[in-house]
């Protein structure tokens, strides 16, 4: 019998995988989430500048943080309609669960638009993994799911996230505002179109389990 986190699920979104030479994004099964719990307990956002907009489970104190984080993932997995779906992935490097990278369809049926969300173990930041995770999720969005445009927002002082978007060829798309731990702050908005992504498309990223996932999200299979 395979280990629990590689077992095939009867819910296709949990079987989706993206592989790059440096890391894998694996559909976030409960077994994989469990492997992230020590990092969540240690803390993902522990000092300013705070990276996440409210409400955010990862800002809570333990043990509520872990419980709230799990509940948010479970609730997010359970909502799928034309206006919203969210695929949660655990980032795995050298067999270790090190973070999350999500793909969110927002008005996907109408506009083909997605956004992304990610976090990485604080001990592993600044080594290029953030860029690699974004390459991987954009490959899934554009090549696997047929997205037309991907967006990303980050607080003005989140240098790593803004730099990831810039480095991958996103263009600025105005500003927005949100609160973080109750304080208002400006977000920089970024977007990348399918055409822009195609210019830097990588040939060393592979996808698995996508065709079986499309009907779950209400996306017609490519002809
Ligand atoms: C955002 C995040 C996933 C990026 O991952 P990462 O591995 O740290 O990023 P990378 O190492 O790939 O670096 C990406 C770029 O940002 C730069 N960078 C990284 N950390 C930086 C920092 N603290 N200050 C300035 N630049 C930074 C890198 O030099 C690199 O730029 P380059 O392309 O010019 O070389 C990670 O930092 C993280 O988990 N942050 C907290 C959660 C978060 O902000 N999530 C996003 C919410 S919108």
**Atom 6 of ligand 1: nearest residue by CA position:** 130
Q: Bridge-partner residues for 171, per DSSP?
A: 191
The pLDDT value given to residue 3:
54
The answer to whether the CB of 39 is under 6 A from ligand 1 is no
The whole-angstrom separation of Cα 125 and Cα 209 is: 28
Q: Which two tokens stand for residue 50?
A: 């705070």
* Assigned domain for 223 exists: no
Check if the beta carbon of residue 151 is closer than 8 Å to that of residue 190.
yes
* Assigned domain for 222 exists: no
pLDDT along the chain (223 residues), means of 10: 68 98 98 98 97 98 97 97 95 98 96 98 98 98 98 98 98 98 98 98 98 95 71
* Assigned domain for 213 exists: yes
Per the structure, the complete domain to which residue 138 belongs is given by 4-217
* Assigned domain for 175 exists: yes
The answer to whether the CB of 158 is under 6 A from ligand 1 is yes
* Assigned domain for 75 exists: yes
The pLDDT value given to residue 7:
72
**Atom 35 of ligand 1: nearest residue by CA position:** 128
The answer to whether the CB of 129 is under 6 A from ligand 1 is yes
Other Cβ atoms within 10 Å of 158 Cβ, number: 20
If one counts the domains in the chain, the total is 1
Would strands 206-208 and 171-180 be described as parallel, antiparallel, or unpaired? unpaired
Q: Which atom of ligand 1 is nearest to the CA of 51?
A: 44
Other Cβ atoms within 10 Å of 78 Cβ, number: 8
**Atom 4 of ligand 1: nearest residue by CA position:** 130
Q: Which two tokens stand for residue 167?
A: 């480095």
Question: Within 13 A of 102's CA, how many CA atoms are on the CB side?
Answer: 17
3-state secondary structure at position 32: helix
Task: Among 93, 115, 130, say which to mutate for ligand 1: greatest number of ligand atoms within 8 Å of CB.
Answer: 130
The answer to whether the CB of 48 is under 6 A from ligand 1 is no
The whole-angstrom separation of Cα 57 and Cα 201 is: 34
**Atom 19 of ligand 1: nearest residue by CA position:** 160
Question: Within 13 A of 171's CA, how many CA atoms are on the CB side?
Answer: 8
* Assigned domain for 179 exists: yes
The pLDDT value given to residue 51:
98
The whole-angstrom separation of Cα 223 and Cα 203 is: 22
* Assigned domain for 184 exists: yes
CATH number at residue 178: 3.40.630.30
The pLDDT value given to residue 221:
82
């Amino acid at each position: 019998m395979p280990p629990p986190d590689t077992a095939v699920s009867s819910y296709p979104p949990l079987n989706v995988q993206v592989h790059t030479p440096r890391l894998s994004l694996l559909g976030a099964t409960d077994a994989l989430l469990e492997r992230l719990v020590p990092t969540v307990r240690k803390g993902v956002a522990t000092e300013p500048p705070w990276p996440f907009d409210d409400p955010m489970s990862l800002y809570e104190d333990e043990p509520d943080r872990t419980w709230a984080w799990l509940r948010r993932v479970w609730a997010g997995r359970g909502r799928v309609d034309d206006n919203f779906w969210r695929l949660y992935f655990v980032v795995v490097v050298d067999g270790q669960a090190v973070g999350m990278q999500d793909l969110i369809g927002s008005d996907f049926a109408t506009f083909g638009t997605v956004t992304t969300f990610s976090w990485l173990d604080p001990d592993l930041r600044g080594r290029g993994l953030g860029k690699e995770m974004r390459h991987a999720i954009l490959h899934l969005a554009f090549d696997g799911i047929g997205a037309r445009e991907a967006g990303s927002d980050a607080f003005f002082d989140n240098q790593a996230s803004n730099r990831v978007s810039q480095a991958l060829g996103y263009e600025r798309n105005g500003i927005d505002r949100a609160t973080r731990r109750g304080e208002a702050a400006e977000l920089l908005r970024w977007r990348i179109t399918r055409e822009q992504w195609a210019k830097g498309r990588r040939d060393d990223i592979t996808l698995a389990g996508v065709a079986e996932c499309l009907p779950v999200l209400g996306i017609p299979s490519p002809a």
